[in-house]
Structure 1
Amino acid sequence: MSGKDLSIEQAPQHCAKCGKAICLRKQVINMVLGNTDEMFCLNCLGASEGNEPRDVLLTAKDYVKRRECFDKEWKKYADKSYCPDPEGCFIRDCFAE
């Protein structure tokens, strides 16, 4: 399933700072943070707030799981095989229950 396009329609698909591709779950994280016109990868999100990229993921994930509107999008990546960038992400943290 890797590379399957499940991104949110009309949402940016590349980081506005570094140009790295943004997957569906990173789009959701950006929406949680209020970013809709421009979206950012975990590295750039972390750098802009003085946080580690992994911490950005974990904090946002906790919030997403409590909000049905975000969680329904998050769950579209059913398992690790959906991740388009398993080497460049925190795949274990992202898919841990």
Structure 2
Amino acid sequence: MREFLVEITTTVPEGTPQEEVDARRAAEAVRAKELAATGNLARLWRPVGERRSVGVWRAADEAELHEKVLGTLPLHAWMTFVVTPLEAHPNDPGRADSTR
């Protein structure tokens, strides 16, 4: 699987009932746990003081990432994504083959 850095900004449409927002956010938490269990969601952060998230996601390719991973998020219709494909860096201290 390839890794992708994904920045997600969620904008709730004006006039959306709070009950719908709460229901979708609860479903989003469940789906995130499922995607973590399958290895598609590796890490997820929220920058301090911001209402966006940044994460490392995994999929076979960018098409699969959009269609079968990000596209399954309950908040998907309210989200915008900035996707950056990643590759290993030779100086990454977390690389399995690195010599430290």
TM-score normalised by length of structure 1: 0.30
Which one has the bigger helix percentage? 1
- Structure whose residues are more often strand by fraction: 2
Query: Between Structure 1 and Structure 2, whose CA radius of gyration is higher?
Result: 2
Q: Which structure is higher in RCO with an 8 Å CA cutoff and minimum separation 6?
A: 2
